[in-house]
């Protein structure tokens, strides 16, 4: 979906006026890195239907979702789309803070078109949807420094991820679009595409550190299935290193469109969780895990009931609260008319009642705990990760 946007000049002027007016009322604060909840709790959050490009942020959408759910959310998840430049999303961040919630920002270097089925509709053969290497050039670095300055100046906690679902070729930062199986010139055992992603991720975090943006929590976000199932798409090869990541994020869906294979959340998650437990994993076992995206559409068969899926999913999450320290439902309906993916919690009365009953549990909390974080001397992992294993099919 391509949405009309304001011209660069008008948009920049608007953001500058809004941003300055807000930031003048802020004062600098100490570090505000998200900590884990108490042992008996799980953070409860959501993507509360911010539109097809995930960036139509306003207080009313948050209030509408919370009204349906019957309780507040901890954070509101949205996309900062870098289609025509990199600029801090003042309006969206302010709207979420005004609603009393914490912004969770997906940094999204996207092309100005959809990438359905891993095929960008606006690209010519051989063209990259969004060349990652451009994020390392001088112009983009200056834009990123301005973004980091604005983030710091809010003096409010921000949750941020770069490289959403990095192991899915439906996004342009995936290795499919950045060299695929081409070996790294520095290490022939690694893939140049994954090395480029890691270098980009690290450089972005380093810029934020250099600008003093210590109010940011960084997430590394993978899909529980991923696609394609190739050695150059193994999640370990993308991991930028423990010193660059505060939390591990996971997307994991049940049936994501009408007629798709019906699978429980537990069945969908188990292969990835086993992989993360591998003693050779470059990802430290002490990194907290957030289920950043999960949902299921309405089923088409007699044994495919969304309300039952929701109840079973939340039972599983509560039984495994030591593993899942935060969960965030993806609340949206999208897709062609007559074949929509009905992820909204109110897609049916039964689904809504099941969701409301599940999240009414005292195990869930919207009260986030922040601390100063731990300063460290950053160093990249010694290798590009263990030899990859089979990781499933496209979601």
pLDDT digits (tens, 9 = 90+) for 351-364: 999 999 999 999 99
The H or E element containing residue 219 is: strand 216-223
Tokens 């007699």 correspond to what residue? Answer: 302
The fold adopted by the segment(s) 35-371 is TIM Barrel (3.20.20)
* Distance of alpha carbon 65 from alpha carbon 330, whole angstroms: 11
Q: Which residues contact 24 (CB under 8 A, 6 or more apart)?
A: none
Q: What is the pLDDT of residue 44?
A: 98
Boundaries of every domain in the chain: 35-371
* Distance of alpha carbon 237 from alpha carbon 136, whole angstroms: 20
pTM, two decimal places? 0.88
Task: Please answer whether residues 271 and 392 qualify as being in contact, where contact means their C-beta atoms are separated by less than 8 angstroms.
Answer: yes
Tokens 């549990």 correspond to what residue? Answer: 361
Q: What is the pLDDT of residue 18?
A: 40
What is the torsion angle, in degrees rounded to the nearest 10, for the CA atoms of residue 141, residue 147, residue 148 and residue 150?
A: 150
Phi-psi region of 335 (alpha: psi -120 to 50; beta: other; left: phi over 0): left
The H or E element containing residue 326 is: strand 324-331
Q: Which of 196, 158, 159 is nearest to 177 (CA)?
A: 196
Residue 293, CA distances (Å) to 22, 77, 145, 232, 296 in order: 30, 10, 29, 24, 10
Q: What is the pLDDT of residue 386?
A: 46
* Distance of alpha carbon 61 from alpha carbon 68, whole angstroms: 11
Q: What is the pLDDT of residue 173?
A: 95
Q: What is the pLDDT of residue 337?
A: 82
Neighbours of 60 (CB within 10 A): 10
Tokens 């009260």 correspond to what residue? Answer: 367
Three-state DSSP class for residue 324:
strand
* Distance of alpha carbon 358 from alpha carbon 166, whole angstroms: 30
Q: What is the pLDDT of residue 22?
A: 45
Tell me which residues of the chain have a pLDDT lower than 50.
Answer: 1-30, 374-377, 380, 382, 386-395
């Amino acid at each position: 979906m391509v949405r009309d946007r304001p011209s660069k000049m008008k948009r920049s002027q608007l953001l500058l006026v809004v941003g300055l007016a807000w930031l003048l009322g802020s004062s600098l604060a100490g570090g505000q890195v998200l900590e884990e909840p108490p042992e008996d709790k799980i953070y409860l959050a959501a993507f509360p239907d911010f539109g097809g490009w995930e960036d139509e942020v306003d207080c009313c959408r948050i209030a509408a979702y919370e009204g349906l759910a019957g309780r507040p959310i901890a954070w509101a998840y949205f996309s900062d789309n870098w289609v025509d430049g990199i600029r801090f999303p003042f309006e969206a961040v302010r709207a979420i803070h005004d609603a009393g919630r914490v912004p969770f920002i997906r940094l999204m270097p996207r092309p100005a078109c959809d990438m359905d089925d891993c095929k960008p509709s606006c690209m010519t053969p051989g063209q990259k949807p969004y060349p990652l290497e451009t994020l390392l050039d001088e112009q983009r670095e200056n834009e990123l420094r301005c973004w980091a300055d604005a983030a710091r100046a809010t003096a409010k906690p921000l949750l941020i991820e770069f490289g959403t679902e990095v192991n899915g070729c439906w996004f342009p930062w995936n290795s499919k679009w950045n060299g695929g199986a081409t070996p790294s010139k520095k290490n022939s055992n690694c893939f140049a595409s994954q090395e480029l992603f890691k270098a980009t991720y690290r450089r972005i975090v380093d810029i934020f550190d250099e600008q003093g943006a210590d109010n940011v929590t960084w997430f590394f976000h993978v899909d529980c299935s991923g696609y394609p199932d190739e050695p150059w798409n193994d999640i370990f090869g993308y991991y930028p290193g423990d010193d660059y990541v505060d939390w591990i994020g996971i997307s994991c869906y049940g049936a994501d469109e009408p007629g798709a294979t019906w699978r429980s959340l537990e069945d969908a998650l188990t292969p990835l969780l086993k992989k993360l437990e591998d003693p050779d994993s470059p990802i430290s076992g002490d990194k907290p895990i957030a289920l950043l995206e999960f949902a299921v559409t309405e089923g088409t068969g007699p044994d495919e009931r969304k309300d039952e899926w929701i109840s079973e999913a939340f039972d599983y999450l509560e039984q495994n609260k030591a593993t899942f320290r935060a969960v965030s439902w993806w609340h949206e309906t999208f897709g062609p008319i007559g074949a929509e993916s009905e992820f909204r919690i109110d897609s049916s009365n039964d689904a809504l009642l099941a969701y409301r009953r599940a999240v009414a549990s005292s195990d869930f909390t919207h009260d986030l705990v922040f601390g100063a974080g731990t300063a460290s001397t950053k160093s990249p992992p010694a290798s590009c990760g263990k030899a990859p294993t089979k990781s499933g099919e496209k979601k």
